[in-house]
Amino acid sequence: MPSDFLDRLFSVQPEPERLELVVLGAALLALAVVVYRPTWRWSRNVITIAHEGGHAVIALLSGRRLQGIRLHSDTSGLTVSAGRPTGPGMIMTLLAGYPAAPIVGLIGAVLLTAGRITLMLAFALVMLPLMLVMIRNLFGVLSVVTVWAAVFLVVWYASDLWQWVFAYTLVWFLLIGGVRPVFELQRQRARGRMPYSDADQIGRLTRIPPLAWVGVFLTVAVVALVAGGWLLARWLLPGVEAV
Residue extents of the structural domains in the chain: 18-234
Reduce the DSSP state of residue 225 to 3 states and report it: helix
Count, residues in the chain: 243
C-alpha to C-alpha distances, 100 to 19, 48, 184, nearest whole angstrom: 27, 9, 16
pLDDT in tens, 175-234: 999 999 999 999 999 999 888 999 999 999 999 999 999 999 999 999 999 999 999 987
C-alpha to C-alpha distances, 231 to 16, 18, 34, 103, 242, nearest whole angstrom: 17, 17, 20, 13, 8
pLDDT in tens, 77-99: 999 999 999 999 999 999 999 99
Q: Is the pLDDT of residue 63 over 50?
A: yes
Contact in structure between 228 and 171 (CB atoms under 8 Å): yes
- Return the minimum-mean-pLDDT range out of 3-12, 79-88, 103-112, 180-189: 3-12
Q: What letter does residue 220 receive in the DSSP assignment?
A: H
Report d(CA 204, CA 191) in Å as an integer.
Answer: 19
Reduce the DSSP state of residue 194 to 3 states and report it: coil
Predicted TM-score of the model (pTM): 0.92
- Which residues, 6+ apart, have CB-to-CB distance to 26 below 8 Å? 165, 168, 169, 171, 172
**Nearest to 131, CA basis, from 175, 103, 168, 100:** 100
For a pLDDT cut of 90, what percent of the chain falls above it?
Answer: 80
Rounded to the nearest integer, the mean pLDDT of the chain is: 91
